[in-house]
Amino acid sequence: MDNLNLAFYTCFYGSNNNTSFCIPSLPSFKYNCYYFTNNKTMLEYLKDTKWIGIYDNKPTNDDLIESCMVGKNIKVLPQNYNELKDYDYLCFLDSKVNNINELFIEKIIIEYFVKQNYALLLREHWFIHNNVWNEYNESMNQERYKFESEKYKNYIQKQINNGFDEVTEHHCACGILIRNMKHKIINEINETWYKHIHDCGIQDQISFFFVKQLFNNYIYSFTENPFI
């Protein structure tokens, strides 16, 4: 398969004490793989890997919610970063995601971006289904999400009051985001989601549940296993 104009990227924002302080396995030896961070210790660790470490000069602290929110910028708005803006396709991976199948990513880019006209690909959630309250209830098993529980409930009720559905056929996981950066609507999807994240809170699978309803014709959720 010929090389696509594709890059992989991940990120970590926070102090050394953050549980997400980790380096995933390199997703590709064929394509550039970027690791964005505001943590200088992490940047030093990356020098011993094939990841391309990018220092993002933002404040570092131990607040899990604040540091997580800082990281939403690169996750959701990659078009604003010079290192990424010239790629046709981008694959974001959560820093805890390992063993992604590079050939699978290439295959679905060709199938859904080249042969069809989708803007964004995500994996359909493998155990949380249909109702946004299922996502909310599962979130309450994680301490960082409990802090914002009322904010999530208020956001969900606001979206329902605005005419959005609380049930969807294909609920997505947001740990892998594959973007067609050539698509005319991808920046609008990104910017809309970013606004919803700030309204909702750091649990971005809740906000994406509603954003997806706005752009349903341009978003495809795959059910295949994307791992090796």
pLDDT in tens, 184-215: 999 999 999 999 999 999 999 999 999 999 99
Share of the chain above pLDDT 70, in %: 100
pLDDT of residue 60: 81
End-to-end CA distance of the chain: 18
User: Looking at the domain 1-228, which fold is it?
Assistant: Spore Coat Polysaccharide Biosynthesis Protein SpsA; Chain A (3.90.550)
Q: Say how far apart CA 130 and CA 141 lie, in whole Å.
A: 19
Q: Are strands 32-37 and 89-93 parallel, antiparallel or unpaired?
A: unpaired
Q: Are strands 52-55 and 32-37 parallel, antiparallel or unpaired?
A: parallel
Q: Say how far apart CA 33 and CA 27 lie, in whole Å.
A: 7
Higher pLDDT, 199 or 17: 199
Higher pLDDT, 124 or 60: 124
Helix (H) or strand (E) holding 104: helix 102-109
Q: pLDDT tens digits for 214-224?
A: 999 999 999 99
Q: pLDDT tens digits for 64-110?
A: 899 999 999 999 999 999 999 999 999 999 999 999 999 999 999 99
- Give the model's confidence band at 150: pLDDT under 50 very low, under 70 low, under 90 confident, else very high: very high
Q: Say how far apart CA 217 and CA 89 lie, in whole Å.
A: 19
Domain ranges of the chain: 1-228
Residue owning tokens 């309803």 = 213
